[in-house]
Amino acid sequence: ARSLRRSREVGIRKVVGALRIDVLGQFVVEAVVIALLALIFSFVLLVLFKPHFLSLNDGYREMLKLDLSPELILYFILLALGVGILSGFFPALFFARVNAIQVLKDISTIRGFRNITMRKVLIAAQFTISLMFIAATIIGYKHYKHVLAFNLGFNTENVLNISLFGNKADLLKKELAEMPEVKALSTSSIITSIGNYWGTNVKYTNPQDSAFVNYNFIDEHYLPLHGHKLLAGRNFSSKGGNAEESEVIVNEKVLRRFNIATLDPSKAVGEMITVNGKKIQIIGVVKNFQHGKSIDKEIKEFMFRYSPKAQYVNVKVLSQDWPATFAKIETAWKKIDNVHPLEATFYDEQIESSYRDFSSRIKIIGTLSFLAVCIAAIGLLGMVVFTTETRLKEISIRKVLGASEGNLVFVLSKQFLMALVIAATIALPATHFFFAKYVLDEYADGAPIAWMELFIGTAVVVVMAFILIGSHTLQAARSNPSEVLKSE
């Protein structure tokens, strides 16, 4: 946009003897210098933001190094050179072929300036991409909050999971039971709903029909501590640990998978299923719950198996002074293990941590949204500046004929606002369709996409664009016609 303002400069250079190759070289070299300066600036940004980016997710530190080698630096320099040459080539080629007399006489008579549709296409494309990023950020953030608040089917509030590191659970439970802040204790082999899956093949009456069923080894206190709802039957009893495994508690999906007792939980109690080649009796049926991540599309078959051996102690804690309570728990831990540090995490925090990849992507998309909007705004600003400067005479004549400032702002702004409308018309339905069809459809309970939320993001961009357009067009509309037309 700014290169187009240099038409008379190019015309004079041609008059005094500049060749086509001189004009080409001038614009290309200037664009390459700008691209190289941008590369230096981007390197500074890389140094500043790299630690923050890698800290978004522990996996990023393992997968990504983001270190610059001499070979990589060379590639980036070549990239900057390529970008500079490509961006400077079009205006260079245009001005190299322009007739100097025609430029000096009246720039508006040149065909390329009569109907520059490329700028409109670029503005629409830039804002389409920007609005897509913004819409994706809004939808993604809403879904992230939705999955964190998702009803898993059991209680995780104030539940602290402590890793045993091979220690006996009874020793730690004995120490913790003496603390008044500890309201309940249980043990488990895994922490469900954070992406951990243990499973085995299970059969019912047909030896040829088997299904993979996930499970968790627990004690008799696990179900009441986590608030699992028994639809029929009973819980485990402590005496179950003294004999060979003979009892199991299943969820409703197991009944449906094998069509046990015509899906009636009360009639399913007492039925026998084969687990690891052993006949085990169903003693209870629990209501379906999300034992996998809440983003899993459907709830799978699951069973609870009894075992006194455990890898975690689950602690229901109520406290008014959490630092003091943690200090007590750490003291209790050191009594049974002074080698391993205490590894205790609240259940809700573990669930949130399991979606760190999701939240990291949202932050990255949000950053890209900001960059895309900035780039689009800069492009729009360039077009507005160019348009207002090339139409100053028209604006002045309109003012002389009685046009108001409001009318002039509307005349100058309508093509840009129309480009924004076109961008929104393309971006919002496309983003809505993509998320509804290919992203949220993969989740068990995706957050509903509200059109109003998407329009809020669009409204922010439109307001920002209107400020950019309005500030420059209003300045042009307030110009003195006599100063512009005095030489006509």
Most distant CA pair in the chain, distance: 106
Rounded to whole angstroms, how far apart are CA atoms 218 and 245?
A: 12
The neighbouring-strand residues paired with 273 are 280
CB–CB of 108/390 below 8 Å? yes
Task: State the first-to-last Cα distance of the chain, in angstroms, to the nearest integer.
Answer: 25
Amino acid at 53: F
Burial 363-383 (b: 16+ CB within 10 A, else e): bebbebbeebbeebbebbbbb
pLDDT in the model for residue 194: 86
Q: What are phi and psi of 394, to 5 degrees?
A: -60, -40
Two structure tokens written together for 77:
């320099």
pLDDT in the model for residue 287: 94
DSSP string, 44-90: HHHHHHHHHHHTT-HHHHHH---PPPHHHHHHHHHHHHHHHHHHHHH
Closest of 198, 201, 203 to residue 307, by C-alpha: 198
CB–CB of 360/60 below 8 Å? yes
Rounded to whole angstroms, how far apart are CA atoms 458 and 173?
A: 55
Closest of 344, 333, 292 to residue 158, by C-alpha: 344
pLDDT in the model for residue 445: 57
SS3 274: strand
pLDDT in the model for residue 113: 47
CB–CB of 274/202 below 8 Å? yes
Please list the helix, strand and coil fractions of the chain in percent, rounded to the nearest 5, in that order: 60, 15, 25
Amino acid at 432: H
Amino acid at 50: K
pLDDT in the model for residue 114: 45
Q: What tens-digit pLDDT sequence spans the chain (488 residues)? A: 556 666 667 777 777 777 777 777 888 898 899 999 999 999 998 888 888 888 777 667 767 778 888 999 999 999 999 999 988 887 777 777 666 666 555 555 555 444 456 667 777 888 788 888 888 788 878 877 777 777 788 999 999 999 999 999 999 999 999 999 999 999 999 999 888 889 999 999 998 899 999 999 999 999 999 999 999 999 998 765 545 688 999 999 999 999 998 899 999 999 999 998 899 999 999 999 988 876 666 788 999 999 878 999 999 999 989 999 999 999 999 999 989 999 999 999 988 888 777 778 788 888 888 887 787 777 777 777 777 767 777 888 888 888 887 787 787 777 777 878 888 888 888 887 877 776 666 555 556 677 777 777 778 777 877 787 777 777 777 777 777 666 65
Closest of 31, 165, 44, 166 to residue 85, by C-alpha: 31
pLDDT in the model for residue 115: 46
Residue written as token pair 């245009």: 94
